[in-house]
Amino acid sequence: MSASTDRVVLAYSGGLDTSVAIGWIAERTRREVVAVCVDVGQGGEDLGVVRQRALDCGAVEAYVADAREEFVNDYCVPALKANALYEGRYPLVSALSRPLIARHLVRAAREFGAGTVAHGCTGKGNDQVRFEVSITSMAPDMDCLSPVRDLALTRDVAIGYAEEHSLPIETTRHNPFSIDQNVWGRAIETGFLEDLWNAPTKDVYVYTDDPTYPPLPDEVVITFERGVPVALDGRPVTPLEAVQELNRRAGAQGVGRIDMVEDRLVGIKSREIYEAPGAVALIEAHQALEAVTLERQQRRYKRQMEQAWSDLVYEAQWYSPLKRSMDAFIEDTQRHVCGDIRMVLHGGRATVTGRRTDTGLYDFGLATYDTGDTFDQSSARGFIEIYGLQSRLAAARDLRSGDVEAF
């Protein structure tokens, strides 16, 4: 099914801004608009309802997709294998969803004959970069458009436009937060949170309960195969089911609350609140299993790559050649990341209490200090002599030349 490439494909959420953007783009560009809504676990309305609203707001076509399984399998699981935490804390909630949504936008643009892809991002955030770099990485022939940035569609204008045209969408002039959420987590910013001294209030949180007054501790056993969660408490699950169940169980214990000031790609420091109970619990468990199953040098090098991988994804390089090469290395490290991790979820923490694997490098006989120790301690003296030889020679030279004082 194709049409003129004068069409515009719009990333459509079903909310006020993107509902208004359908008519706004059509009026100002004289082009037909195709709405695209991708469900990555953000909750809310049925996709059929969202599709009809897009059509009622003036879209000539509406493309909707339940992409939750695809999102977890193809985007969240690679992030889990990479233990991806931007600046050591943020599990890339929004950054992971943008390249997936962009893929569906490009797919819809090809199907419906559109030459331009539009999104609802502002000109000062990360997501505009993520959408547009992802789109042009897959479809270098396509143009990108942001109604907010390029066509002056501010929120006040959007509210006025919706009221004037009686669009079937709720309008409000007071919304204290900007929120993005999916199955991997929830991101909250703006409003009173922009004052760094203000503490988050209870209404900020949805995925997590207050960890100050937790229920009884919840013990869970997570089984991994090649770095992928495949069972909870011995019951087989898909990766999506694992994330959803741990969102519920870890969220009930207040696990996964993050309050940080991060460095945005565009050069701005931004205060962000995140909730990612399932992601945080899974990453904690995955790291614990890697500690048992990865060889020392391999694990050390992977830790360095994890930060670089997280930076690349945060900075809109999901489809870059470098990330593709990193993926190959990370995937190779996961061949022996198999086994069970027991952890206790309680009071805002996911604490590992047990590890069990048939592919680990932990040897009880070598590790124990009790009877049955198989480690030949006499060989340590020669190892130390050789290991410290270079430092010993350098120190002797420095003393002779007077470069350092004698201790």
Q: What is the set of active-site residues?
A: 17, 98, 127, 178
What domains are defined for the chain? 7-174 (3.40.50.620), 179-294+337-356 (3.90.1260.10), 368-401 (no CATH)
Closest CA to 72 of 225, 220, 251, 282: 282
Which pLDDT belongs to residue 178?
A: 83
DSSP symbols for 295-326: -HHHHHHHHHHHHHHHHHHHTT-TTSHHHHHH
Which pLDDT belongs to residue 2?
A: 41
Do residues 389 and 289 lie in contact, with contact meaning Cβ atoms separated by under 8 Å? Answer: no
CA-to-CA distance for 15 and 48, rounded, in angstroms?
14
Question: 3-class DSSP state for residue 47?
Answer: helix
Binding site for ATP: what residues are annotated?
Answer: 11-19, 120
Binding site for L-citrulline: what residues are annotated?
Answer: 90, 126, 130, 178, 262, 274
Binding site: what residues are annotated?
Answer: 11-19, 90, 120, 122, 126-127, 130, 178, 262, 274
10-residue block means of pLDDT along the chain (407 residues)? 71 91 95 97 90 96 96 98 98 97 97 95 90 96 94 87 88 73 94 94 96 96 98 98 98 98 93 97 98 98 98 97 98 98 98 98 89 87 95 91 72
Which pair of structure tokens corresponds to residue 24?
């706004």
Do residues 286 and 242 lie in contact, with contact meaning Cβ atoms separated by under 8 Å? Answer: no
Query: Is the whole-model pTM more than 0.85?
Result: yes
Phi, psi of 271, rounded to the nearest 5 degrees: -85, 125
C-alpha 111, offset from chain centre: 28
Structural element, H or E, at residue 230: strand 228-232
CA-to-CA distance for 322 and 123, rounded, in angstroms?
26
**Residue in this structure with the two tokens 């890339």, named with its chain if needed:** 92
Which pLDDT belongs to residue 173?
A: 66
Which pLDDT belongs to residue 126?
A: 93
